[in-house]
Structure 1
Amino acid sequence: MTPEPTGRLVPTATGHDLILARTYKASADDVWASVTEPERTARWFGPWRGEAAPGNTIEVQMLFEESEPWFAVRIEACEPPRRLAVVTQDEAGGWSLELLLTETDGTTELRLVQHLTSTEQLGEIGPGWEYYLDLLTTSRTGGPRPAFEDYYPAQQAYFESLA
């Protein structure tokens, strides 16, 4: 079964925001721990090392990518358990990302926002985030890990059509 893409593209003053969301029956504190504690991020994205604080750069490993690369992540803002803003940097360039959490009646919505200056690679970026957010969900529920092949290239045309 191919997962349905959920991402949407919103124009901004400097480009576009790619926004993807997931909802969890959990407190914002618990979801925050899933996206900030290295033992828990290792379950769905990869571990990180360094001293995490606004203005600092940590290193994050992508465990579910070929060669499991490490890359630099500069923490721009950290407002537990509501907002984490980072800029990533690797040999492919840099990305500006935010994780925004909103809790209502014991349910938390997590929104991943990637601030884009170009939509050129949207067909690759979107399916990747859908995959990683579903990995986050399965890390929290214990369900079977999704296969990347179910996301890319299956969702590529959807994301390209958003631009």
Structure 2
Amino acid sequence: MSVTSRISRDEPGWLLEFEETYDTDAADLWSALTEPGRLARWMAGYRGDLRLGGHWQALGVDGDVYCDGVVEACDPPHGFTTTWVVVGEHPSRVTVTLEAAGSEAERRGAADAARTVLRLRHEQVAQAGTAPGWHAYLEALHGHLADPTAARDRAAWLARFDALRPEYAARYAELG
């Protein structure tokens, strides 16, 4: 795991950009990102319609709606764009793209050696805590892909989030 990230100003908030490579093909990664049953095992409970024009809601641990959005673009299994509206905050936008990793020669290798690069771009983010949250989720996604039936480990995610917070706080502070 080596999640890379960039933070920059994006008035009225921040632009967050993440990249990570996963040991799976784009179809499996797409499934993990868009099927509510799989999302619940590594990120959060979701309900709604995760397709073009669809409205969705992400649920907090208490079952209440944490955020919602509308899918604005969708190109399975290559990427999607959705609005992202955390309750009580201004709207933001998330774009996810997926592409095969490595050179053409590597991509023609064994099927079990499939690797996919995920790029996540979150525009106009209001909360500083969003960056370590995305980072921790992208790491948790590795565990889900290794064992898709395992339940989400909320305690491990919170510990990782807490460990990442000081690093991201320093990075935000550098930007003013």
Q: TM-score range by the shorter chain?
A: 0.7 to 0.9
* CA distance, structure 1, for counterparts of residue 70 and residue 134 of structure 2: 19
Aligned to 1:83: 79
1:12-58: CA deviations, max 9, x gaps?
Answer: 8x986421011111110011011001111001211222233322212
Unaligned stretches of 5+ residues in structure 1: none
Check conservation: 1:85, 1:98, Cα contact below 8 A: yes
In the alignment, the residues of structure 1 paired with residue 14 and residue 133 of structure 2 have an alpha-carbon distance, to the nearest angstrom, of: 17
The answer to which structure has the higher helix fraction is 2
* Match of residue 18 from structure 1: 16
1:125 partnered with 2:130? yes
Q: Read off the aligned partner of 2:82 and give its amino acid letter.
A: V
TM-score by length of 1: 0.78
Asked whether the 8 Å contact 1:43–1:136 carries over to 2, the reply is no
Distance in 1 of aligned mates of 2:49 and 2:21: 29
How far does the alpha carbon of each residue in 1:103-128 deviate from its partner, in whole angstroms, 9 at most, with x for none? 13221001111122x7x64x422212
CA RMSD of aligned residues (A): 3.0
Instruction: Tell whether 2:44 aligns with 1:36.
Output: no
Sequence identity, in percent? Answer: 27
Closer, same or farther: CA 16–155 of 1 in aligned 2, 3 Å: closer
Within a 5 Å distance, the mapping from 1:144-159 to structure 2 comes to 145-146=156-157, 147=159, 148-159=161-172
SS of aligned partner of 1:151: helix
DSSP-derived class of the 2:58 partner: strand
Count the aligned residue pairs.
155
Deviant stretches of 4+, over 6 Å:
none
- Closer, same or farther in 2 for the Cα pair 1:68/1:152, shift >3 Å? farther
CA deviations 1:46-93 (Å, max 9, x no partner) are 122223332221222144xxx453132211111100111000222223
> Which has the larger Rg?
2
Q: Residues of 1 paired with 2:34 and 2:4: CA distance?
A: 23
Q: Partner of 1:46 in structure 2?
A: 44
Q: CA separation in 2, counterparts of 1:10 and 1:152? A: 17
> Are the equivalent residues in 1 in contact too, given 2:24–2:145 (CA < 8 A)?
no
Contact 2:3 2:135 (C-alpha < 8 Å) held by counterparts? yes
Q: 1:15 to 1:73 in 2, by over 3 A?
A: closer
Does the 8 A contact of 2:2 with 2:20 survive in 1?
no
Of residues 101-110 and 143-152 in structure 1, the stretch that sits farther from structure 2 once superposed is 143-152
Letter in 1 for 2:122: Q
